[in-house]
Amino acid sequence: MKVLVTGGAGFIGSNIADRLVVEGHEVVIVDDLSTGFRENVHPKATFYRLDIRDPGLAEIFEKEKPEMVNHHAAQIDVRKSVEDPMFDAQVNVLGSINLIQLCAVYGIKKVIYASTGGAIYGEPEYLPADEHHPIRPLSQYGITKHIVEHYLYLYRYNYHLNYTILRYPNVYGPRQDPHGEAGVVAIFTEALFRGKRPTIYGDGTHTRDYVFVGDIVEANLLAMERGDGQVMNLGWGWEVSVNEIFGTLKNHLATDIEPLYVPERLGEIHRICLDSTKAQKELGWKPQVDLDEGIQRTVEYYSKRQSEAC
């Protein structure tokens, strides 16, 4: 099958694209490289450097004629969405509408959409949050990611465009950008390798549901054949604090460096973890890589990258 992966030079998208190639699919990647990296693109994939808002996206559909779309291109930074909500909406909403319209016009079999479980529910009324939890995002990012879910429902109802929506937890692992604003595991790891004190916003008791990128890739592969018209959380269903993440990294790197605590930032929720019972039922998916193993794999990746850079 020919699959178009938007954001396929980014952290999660490139890992998915690699797996698709391994599974024998033909992969086309669209990425503007604003946060992705050309070296992440699999050599067997066809690559187009393009913003998903660009009208030229239609030419790629016309030329490549993909059968399925995996949509990961987005403005992913919660803080940037707060600082520049217009840009956040332009990329996440208008860019997605441009893509979805083309999917309908060109008869795409299915869209797999990366939504957010970490930012969509706001401060939770109960944990773990399931798909029936009220939607009350506290950041512009959470709002724009949720809006696209409504567009996909609309296009399925009116134009028979099939989809599966995956609401992500905090994803970590190889290729996450340690110089970005999102992804504490990568950011902390890079800082510790450099002998610097990582910054923790707030007192470190904020919790998230951390899932290794390989498990997220598996969910995307399963969604190609299952979960039609469904919205599903991905997650372990338990909370892990920022302090716990730092402590685990500190142990793996055998360092005595302590973090620097600074005031928390606007738009950040305090607690979240996700009930993935529906994904278990609809996709047959469960996360497999526990936090200790996942952090070990991540540390090994960045250690190797550090060695190659020297």
- Taking residues 100-119, report their average pLDDT: 97
The pLDDT of residue 305 is 81
243 vs 247: CA distance, rounded Å: 6
**Rg of the Cα atoms in the chain:** 19
Share of the chain above pLDDT 70, in %: 98
Would you call 141 a catalytic residue per the annotation? yes
The answer, yes or no, to whether residue 182 has pLDDT greater than 70, is no
Whether the predicted pLDDT of 308 surpasses 90: no
Active-site entry in 141, 151, 168, 210:
141
pLDDT at 179: 74
The reply to whether CATH 3.30.230.30 applies to domain 1-310 is: no
Q: Tell me the mean pLDDT in the region 109-122.
A: 97
154 CB-near residues (< 8 Å, 6+ apart): none
Q: What is the pLDDT averaged over residues 159-187? A: 91
| pLDDT averaged over every residue in the chain | 95
* pLDDT of 44 higher than 60: yes
pLDDT at 177 over 80: yes
Q: Centre a 10 Å sphere on the Cβ of residue 291 and count the other Cβ atoms it contains.
A: 19
pLDDT band, very low/low/confident/very high, at 304 (cuts 50, 70, 90): confident
